[in-house]
Amino acid sequence: MSGVSSIRSNIIWSFVRNFGIRFGSMVVFFVLARILDPSELGLFATVLAILAFFEIIADGGVSDAIVQKKNVSNKDFVTGFYINVSLGFILSVVIVVFSVEISSLLNVLGITDLLRVAAIGLLLNSLSFVPQAFYRRKYDFKWLAYRALIGATLSGAAGITLALLGAGPWSLVAQFLTLAFLNALLVWWKKPFVLNNLFDCTIAVGLIKFGVAISLSKILYYVTIRGIELVIVASFGPAAIAVYVMGNRVVAVLQQLISAVTVDVYLPRFSRLVENKSKLFEVFYTAVEITSAISFPLFVGVAILSEDIVFILFGDNGQGAGGILKVLALLGSIQSVAFYCGSLLNSQGRPYYSLAFQMVRVLLFVFIFYVFSNQTLLALVNAYAFVFLCTIPVFFVFTAKVVGFSLWVVFNKVYPYLFGSSLMYLFSYCLEYFSFFDGFSFFGEFFVSFCFLFVFYNLFLFFFFKKNYFFVIGNVFNRF
């Protein structure tokens, strides 16, 4: 297979893998959001937020260290596997033993049993970290995609069935555990490496040394992305976190799809282009432009239609989530592009630089959480988004200074799509101001609005930035 065909295949299967697993979780979440009381949904959202933190520690950055390493042997995989499983087992026991204390710390009743049972999923997931790294190194995204689709389909079916039978939040626990079990089973189905080597202390030290920086960076990133969920549940209760998660879920899935697909494919290649900076920057600029062209109009469109989207997905249970979705969607457009900075630093073997910046950002968030925890939920979310919008440009400047890419080139790659999306937002405001949709049904207004926004953005790029427009279209179609 040629290099171009290989990249194209990797992107397609990486997209299928990311979309498959997230689509399955989305379907289950949307069904449960309509069936469950928001407070019940909030209980499991709290459990997931807690487990996400412990999962970062269980991975320890070992899988990323293996992906980044130039030369690996079976001993590397075996040693990394033992590290992950040991951490997964220890942390699962910690969660079970201290579940009551965790519940008290967050001032949330009713999550103790849910947390104890769901902790099994942490151990199951620890079995998959290193095998996934093996397939990522081999660019075997096709098998990872099959695994994701099978796991998402079967676990999603189990969750929805139990929800319809009245299992409440336990239906999400069942979906989570089924997915973790199937992922572990399928990732080992093809026997990625042989567990016939002893634990190598020298290799372990190297993996841990590199992994610690990545792990700490992920923990700090967790505080900036998921920390707000714990603040919400502690300050406003489970029902409030359910409202936030409803508003955040659509943005999170779209954001992860846009970012994860290219990062999965390009991060290993970034590492191999360390000594060829001109080629590295060329790939970086292209990724930034393509992501901007897609993410800016996509998320601005979601912000414009936020109230309608929330009602369609969650019905009356989504009351209050539309405003949150609008804020987070506008923020998500910028975050998707900024994600490449951290990936670029890691690919250059400089995770500590990303760690240092994340520490500064975390301090700002801690301050914001402290000041706004006694305000309204929307005020807290607005303050949260404001900190991101202020720090993302600084992160670009910081990364450019460290790595050496041109901010002017990045600006020229980004501004046509930012400008077009801004005009699209203004266009929608004008339609609303002049009561264009008076007399339309709810779904008729939603469909016509979507079509108008889509056509407006594409025509704007076609007439005013034709070269950029065809460059993006060409790159997207060439990948598929």
**What six digits make up the tokens of 145?**
């995609």
**What six digits make up the tokens of 131?**
């095998």
Mean pLDDT of 170-181: 90
Predicted TM-score of the model (pTM):
0.81
Q: Could you report the per-residue pLDDT of 325-338, keeping only the tens digit for each?
A: 999 999 988 888 88
Residue 64 · residue 196 · CB < 8 Å: no
pLDDT at 92: 95
Mean pLDDT of 63-83: 82
In the chain, what are the domain boundaries?
1-213, 237-480
Q: Which position has the higher pLDDT, 474 or 47?
A: 47
Residue 173 · residue 189 · CB < 8 Å: no
Residue 457 · residue 420 · CB < 8 Å: yes
Average pLDDT, the chain: 83
pLDDT at 417: 94
pLDDT at 318: 86
pLDDT at 115: 94
| Lowest mean pLDDT segment, chosen from 84-93, 148-157, 453-462 | 148-157
Q: What is the 3-state secondary structure (H, E, C) of 327-375?
A: HHHHHHHHHHHHHHHHHHHHHCCCHHHHHHHHHHHHHHHHHHHHHHCCC
Q: Could you report the per-residue pLDDT of 381-416, keeping only the tens digit for each?
A: 999 999 988 888 888 888 888 888 889 998 999 999
pLDDT band of 178, cuts 50, 70, 90: very high
Residue 293 · residue 373 · CB < 8 Å: no
pLDDT at 348: 67
Mean pLDDT of 106-120: 91
Q: Residues of the chain with pLDDT > 70: what percent? A: 87
Mean pLDDT of 344-370: 79
Mean pLDDT of 180-189: 88
Mean pLDDT of 45-62: 90
Q: Could you report the per-residue pLDDT of 197-217, keeping only the tens digit for each?
A: 777 788 888 888 888 877 887
Cα(26)–Cα(290) distance, rounded to whole angstroms?
Answer: 25
| Lowest mean pLDDT segment, chosen from 107-121, 233-247, 365-379, 465-479 | 465-479
Cα(261)–Cα(255) distance, rounded to whole angstroms?
Answer: 10
pLDDT band of 1, cuts 50, 70, 90: very low
pLDDT at 33: 83
Mean pLDDT of 13-38: 69
Q: Which position has the higher pLDDT, 411 or 73?
A: 411
pLDDT at 4: 47
SS3 438: coil
Q: Residues of the chain with pLDDT > 90: what percent? A: 28
